[in-house]
Amino acid sequence: MNSVAHWLLQWREVFGGFAWPWAFAALPLPLLARWLLPARGSAAPALNVPFGTRLQALADGGNPLHAGARRIALWLAVAAWICLCAALARPQQLGDAVAPPQSARSLMLAVDLSGSMSETDMELGGRPVERATAAKAVIGDFLDRRAGDRVGLLVFGTRAYTLAPLTFDRNAVREQLRDSVVGLAGRETALGDAIGLAVKRLREQPPGQRVLIVLTDGVNTAGELDPLKAAELAQSEGVRVHAIGFGGGGSVLSVFGLPVAGGDDDIDETTLKKIAGMTGGRYFRARDTGELAQIYAELDGIEPVQQEGRKVRPRIERYPLPLLFALGFGLLAFVWPRSRA
């Protein structure tokens, strides 16, 4: 008994078994149909022919070759039905073991949408755009490279809000980012609250994989949590914070429509550097769209995307083979009696 069980386990390990084994319950259907439906020819004959019984006997029993061909056709039809049920049960074979890529990071993206992000001092595709528009384009490209990561999105102004929880669906995050507008969370900058909210969202993720990338163009002017206190909280929870100071160094449009040179914005670089240093992250300064793109490309290298996951054996569908046999047996069952008539 143990050897039989061992053989069955080995067979399943190699061949994978059937996805829908209940399909074999259809095997006795032809017998049930033959038993329940009235037999062909049971009704009274519509026309009485002289010597009809003898003619029928000659047709059926007088030609042994014809009777044998019909028996073979019957067995071919049975084989076709068995193969058809086997195909319906979806036989599967286990393929070679593969290790699918697995996320190495849980990323929260915090984007400043305060009033100053509406400044038109950035360039995108050769035309001036708002800082928020440039940031969205660069972050969208960054998301394209994070296949397999769990990514979340929060925005902050006077308050901080989660637009997308941590998810593998990067398209959903991209759509939320695209639909966000300047002033959505207020006109001021609650940097400390944004970091605190991101830490809360990342707390349940595996240690060593908690990363926050925060982009801001100003100083903390709102919120209840001081940015450095928020950094201490991130440090205690093992959240690595990369901070990006964005804006300045471009040109803005004056009230008269004439471009004028823009100076550096009032970015609290000292605080941002301390936040990054306390949490094991890095601080970056981006004065234009090109520099911002380079920064996110560098972050893509700093925070690797993939690591080898648990090995699995994919199931390969093998139903086409019994389906092909069913078709072949069915055609033979139809052709064989006629070829032997």
- Residues β-bridged to residue 101: 308
Nearest alpha carbon to residue 228 among 241, 215, 217: 241
CB atoms within 10 A of CB 90: 18
Res 111: pLDDT: 94
C-alpha 122/C-alpha 129 separation (Å) is 5
pLDDT of 332 strictly over 60: yes
Which tens digits make up the pLDDT trace of 94-130? Answer: 777 765 555 557 889 999 999 989 888 888 888 999 9
Residues 6+ apart with CB under 8 A from 71: none
The single residue listed with the structure tokens 């950094």 is 231
Task: Name the strands in the sheet holding 160-167, side by side, starting at the edge strand that comes first in the sequence.
Answer: 160-167, 150-156, 106-112, 210-216, 240-246, 283-286
Nearest alpha carbon to residue 145 among 308, 305, 309, 289: 305
Which tens digits make up the pLDDT trace of 158-170? Answer: 999 999 999 989 9
Res 234: pLDDT: 95
Token pair for 170 = 């990067």
pLDDT of 45 strictly over 60: no
DSSP string of 202-249, one letter each residue: HTTSPTT-EEEEEEESS---SSSS-HHHHHHHHHHTT-EEEEEEE--S
10 Å CB burial of residue 329 (0-12, 13-18, 19+) is: buried
Q: Please list, residue by residue across 166-198, b when 16 or more beta carbons sit within 10 angstroms of its beta carbon and e when fewer do.
A: beeebeebbebbeebebebbbbbbbbbbbbbbb
Res 250: pLDDT: 43
SS3 106: strand
CB atoms within 10 A of CB 108: 29
pTM: 0.58
Q: 170 and 202 in contact (C-beta within 8 Å)?
A: no
Which tens digits make up the pLDDT trace of 310-323? Answer: 667 777 888 888 88
| Domain 102-306 homologous superfamily, CATH | von Willebrand factor, type A domain (3.40.50.410)
Q: 218 and 189 in contact (C-beta within 8 Å)?
A: yes
Output DSSP code: residue 332.
H
Q: What percent of the chain has pLDDT over 70?
A: 75
